[in-house]
Amino acid sequence: MSRYPLALDLAGRRAVVIGGGAVAMRRAAALLEAGALVSVVAPAVLPELAALDVVVHQRPYRPGDLGGAWLAHAATNDPAVNAAVAAEAERSRIWCVRADDASASAAWTPAVTRHGDVTVAVTAGGDPRRSQQLRAAISLALADATLPLRPRRGASESSASESSASESSASESSASGTGERRGCADAADTATADAHRRGARSGGGAPMGSVALVGGGPGDPGLITVLGRRLLAEADVVVTDKLAPRGLLAEIDPDVEIVDAGKAPHAHNLTQDAINALIVSRALAGQRVVRLKGGDPFVFGRGGEEALACVRAGVQFQVVPGVTSAVAVPAYAGIPVTHRGLTQDFAVVSAHLDPSHPGATVDWESLARGPGTLVLMMAVAHLEQIAAELVKHGRSGATPVAVISDGTTPGQQVLTSTLGQVAQDAARRGIRPPAVVVIGEVVRLRDLLSAA
């Protein structure tokens, strides 16, 4: 039977999620984004889920929990509980999405991609991988303008803002994405997809996965490369850093495992050795791993160490360059790192250590006398000491400086100052990482080039 595609206005309406794990968290986040009033019921709830703007009932599900709901999600790992939730929803005439069994579900969540005011939802005969690949292809076509979509002049939001691709063929009508088990796609297509996902095979014939070290760009999800977005859509496991664009994770299907490696200063969720071991072990188990990083994997991203770990283990890997924050963040703020007549060179420096620290190896004396533009990464914590060191070695205290925090994102802030005053100004403004510091005459161009 063909399914009936429909977009729901859930703003201000109650939705209930039964379950407290990773799938439940993604369902709840999507409902919140749609404006729903979300209640979560589960004996145990992930801290990340509890931290969302939801009402949590930390206990087992019991009949009556769906009272007053417009929509329910059964997202536990217990089929009996999910079946009971679905049965209550059916009796109460509440649409219910089952995460464990699409064939027993009365409602389905499609694979979704959004571009501006266009939303595309894809289902594909009960095969989440195929739905994901179709969604990825459409998303890429929209992203690179192969499939241009522009609002019609005078069209209302309701008629112009939603586009639904709910059937990938006349015979495909079941759910996609969240909660589906792999369906019966064409055998040749399935074999090709499996071969692509598993990558090369070892000499003994055992399936082997692969690792993609993907640069996610400086913060704006739209700045990832087309190849990076495609590999992300095809991944079995995504290992992400704190600075990787989190908006990209919203498009990943719930059956894809997401591992948060953290990598915040002094608060790593996983050590680098643990990350290396993780990506290698998952690839050796036949999975397609994406290591998603902020900026570029090889610019202060320790991507080289992860690549070497793959080489030592005999794991197939590829590096997908990313737009580095060192250049992109200043550009977004209206500051070119080079400019004819001002400077022909620039240096990018990891400034995470106090210059007086015994382990510090940066030659601040040469930098003070050398390149016209200095771009400092991870410098906020030691900005006062770094500025003093540069002034001590000859850089004028009147040199223009910009500190750009949360660059390329809606929360971007730009502080302009001078080398002699920037530490005090940054402290007064409460500037916090992540931030890029630009030192040099090019900072003066911001007033002319910035749209802010």
Given the residues 127, 220, 253, 263, the one annotated as active site: 263
Q: 47: which residues sit within 8 A by CB, 6+ positions away? A: none
How far apart CA 24 and CA 99 sit, in angstroms, is: 9
- Based on the residue annotation, tell me whether 101 is a catalytic residue of this protein: no
- Do the beta carbons of residue 165 and residue 139 sit within 8 Å? no
Supply the DSSP string of 235-285, one letter for each residue: -SEEEEETTS-GGGGGGS-TTSEEEEEE-BTTB-SS-HHHHHHHHHHHHHT
312: which residues sit within 8 A by CB, 6+ positions away? none
Q: Tell me if 238 sits within 8 A of 259, measured CB to CB.
A: yes
Q: How far apart are the first and last CA of the chain?
A: 53
Burial (CB < 10 A; 0-12, 13-18, 19+), residue 333, is buried
Spatial distance between the Cα atoms of 113 and 429, rounded to a whole number of angstroms: 37
Q: Using CA atoms, how far apart are residues 184 and 370, in angstroms rounded to an integer?
A: 63
Which of 241, 253, 255, 296 is the catalytic position? Answer: 241
Q: Which two tokens stand for residue 28?
A: 């709840």
Q: How far apart are CA 239 and CA 317, in angstroms?
A: 14
Burial readout 283-309 (b: 16 or more C-beta within 10 A, e: otherwise): bbebbbbbbbbbbbbbbbbbbeebbeb
- Cα gap 215→322, rounded to integer Å: 4
Residue 241 annotated to the active site? yes
* Interacting residues of 188 by C-beta distance below 8 A, sequence separation 6+: none
Question: Kind and range of the H or E element at 311?
Answer: helix 303-313
Beta strands in 37-109 (DSSP E): 37-42, 55-58, 71-74, 95-98
Q: How far is 354 from 386, CA to CA, in rounded Å?
A: 7
Pairing between strand 373-377 and 435-439? antiparallel
Burial, 204: exposed, middle or buried (Cβ in 10 Å; 0-12, 13-18, 19+)? exposed
Q: Among all residues, which ones are annotated catalytic?
A: 241, 263
